[in-house]
Amino acid sequence: MTHPQDPSLDSYDSLDPLDAFTAPDSLDDVHDPRFQAEVPVKRARRGPENPERLYILTGEDSERAPLDLVTLIVAKGEPSPTAQPEHSAVLRLCRTPLSVAELSAYLVLPVSVVTVVLTELLAADLVQARAPLVRSALPDRSLLEAVMHGLQKL
Amino acid sequence: MDFKSSDTLTSGMLSGPREQDVLPATAAAAVKIVIVGGFGVGKTTMVGSVSEIRPLTTEETMTEAGIGVDDDYGSETKTATTVAMDFGRISISEELVLYLFGTPGQERFWFLWNGLFEGALGAVVLIDTRRLEVSFDVIGRLEERGVPFIIAVNDFPDAPRHPVEALRTALDLEKEVPIVHCDARRRTSSRDALLTLMRYLHSLAMARA
Ligand SMILES: Nc1nc2c(ncn2[C@@H]2O[C@H](COP(=O)(O)OP(=O)(O)OP(=O)(O)O)[C@@H](O)[C@H]2O)c(=O)[nH]1
Ligand SMILES: [Mg+2]
C-alpha cells in the first residue's frame, strides 16, 4: 500500500512524461487509523453552461484578445525624461519580458490600472505585447509536451 | 490619468525582479494553470513550493453597490473590496513560461481577472478531506466553464483517508478525472500534481485528435 508520504510519490523522474496517467490504486491504507471507507458528503455534477464559449477564444478571426494576465510586455526603448511616472516605471521594468501580473505586483497597482497604462504605451508604440497561448478546442499537443518536459526538469 | 499613483511609484522605491528572476529576452509566450480550492486548502503553499520566483501577489479592486441602500438623493453606498491572488512562475524553456495562479475560491471574484479560467490550460483543485464540501462549488464552476481539472488531495495530518473510488463517487467525477495525493509543501509533490494535470490534458488532446 502506498502511503501518501511514501517517497515513491517523487519517483516520476524515471517515467516518461507521456506515460498514460494511471490512477493511484491506494490513497487508502486500511491500516491507517484515519481510514474511512465512507465519504459523508456528496456533490452533484454540473455540465457546461454554454459550450460555445469554449470556442470563442480559439477562432482565427476572433477579435484580438485584450491584455491577459500573462501577456509578456517588452519595452521598445528607454523612457523619456518627461514621461509620466507610471509610463517610465513600466518601461524600466520591461527592459526584459515581464507579464502583466508581475507588473501589477511590482508596481503594487491593480491589474485594471496596469492595463490602462499598457494600453497607452501600446498605442504610443513604446512597448511590445507577446500574447499568451490559451487553451483551445483542439489543444496543441506539442505545447502540452513542452510543458511536461519543462516540469520534469524541476 | 484618473488614478492615484501608488506610493511605490512616487517614492522611487520601485522594486523589480531580482537578477535571477529576470526572464530571457527570448521569452516569447506564456501559458497558465490555475490552482483552486476552498479557504485554507493550501493554494498559496502549492504556488510557493514550485515557483522559481518568490511568489508575488497581484490585486484587483471591485466596487460593490450597497444592498438595500437607497436614500432620498438617489445615491448609492459603494464599498471597494481588494481581492488578492498569489502567483508563481516556472520557466519551461528559453521561449515558454508557465504561470501558476492560486485563485480565491469564491467564484464571484473570478470575473475580475478576464480570461483567467477561459485561457488556462487547466486547473488543479486542492481538497481537504476534513471539509470536502468547501470545494464542491469550485468544481461545479469549472465544469460549467469547461475547464479540465484534476483533484489533488492535500495531505493534512488529521484528515480522514478515503478510498479513491469513494472520493470519486462523493465528488461525482468521471472515471477519467485523475485524483492524486499531494503534500503542497513539497516541491516534488506539487510538481507531480502539475505533471498529472499535464498528462491528463495530453490524454484529452489525443482523444480529441
Ligand atoms: N500538513 C500540511 N499542511 C499544509 C499543506 N498545504 C498547506 N498546509 C498548511 O495549511 C495552511 C493553509 O495553507 P495556504 O497555502 O495558506 O492555503 P490557501 O488555500 O492559500 O488559503 P487561503 O488563501 O486563505 O484560502 C498553512 O498553514 C499551510 O502551511 C499540506 O500539504 N500538508
Ligand atoms: Mg492563499
DSSP per-residue codes, A37-51: S--S--------S-T
Cα–Cα nearest to A26, from B200, B190, B180, B154: B180
To the nearest whole Å, the CA of A14 is away from the closest chain B CA by 12
B2, part of any domain: no
The count of residues in chain B is 209
CB B180 within 8 A of CB A24: yes
Tell whether pTM > 0.90.
no
B100, part of any domain: yes
B194, part of any domain: yes
Furthest-apart CA pair in chain B: how many Å? 62
What domain range includes position B65?
25-208
CA angle, A102 then A103 then A109, to 5°: 115
Q: Do B178 and A36 touch (CB under 8 A)?
A: no
For B98, the enclosing helix (H) or strand (E) is strand B96-102
Q: Is residue B152 in contact with ligand 1, taking CB distance under 6 Å?
A: no
Q: Do B145 and A28 touch (CB under 8 A)?
A: no
| Owner of C-alpha cell 516520476 | A12
* Closest CA to ligand 1's atom 6: B42
Q: Is residue B158 in contact with ligand 1, taking CB distance under 6 Å?
A: no
Task: Report the CATH number at residue B133.
Answer: 3.40.50.300
CA separation, residue B92 to residues A149, B28, B84 (Å)? 8, 11, 26
CA separation, residue A54 to residues A121, B105, B115 (Å)? 31, 22, 11
Between CA A51 and CA B122 the distance in angstroms is 16
Per-residue confidence of chain B (209 residues) as pLDDT tens digits? Answer: 444 555 566 555 678 899 889 999 999 999 999 999 988 899 999 999 999 999 999 988 877 654 444 444 545 566 777 788 999 999 999 999 999 999 877 766 776 776 788 789 999 999 999 999 988 888 998 998 889 999 999 988 889 999 999 999 999 999 999 999 999 999 999 999 999 999 999 999 988 77
B7, part of any domain: no
Nearest to A28 among B143, B163, B194 (CB): B163
> Which of the 8 DSSP states describes residue B41?
S
| Owner of C-alpha cell 470536502 | B132
Q: Is residue B181 in contact with ligand 1, taking CB distance under 6 Å?
A: no
- Tally the domains of chain B: 1
Which residue of chain A comes nearest to B164, CA vs CA? A27
What is the per-residue burial (b if ≥16 Cβ within 10 Å, else e) of A65-75?
bebbbbbbbbb
Cα–Cα nearest to A106, from A124, A93, A91: A93
Nearest to B160 among A34, A46, A101 (CB): A34
For B68, the enclosing helix (H) or strand (E) is none
Domain boundaries, chain A: 72-130
Binding-face residues of B in 160-179 toward A, CB within 8 A: 160-164, 166-167, 169-173, 178-179
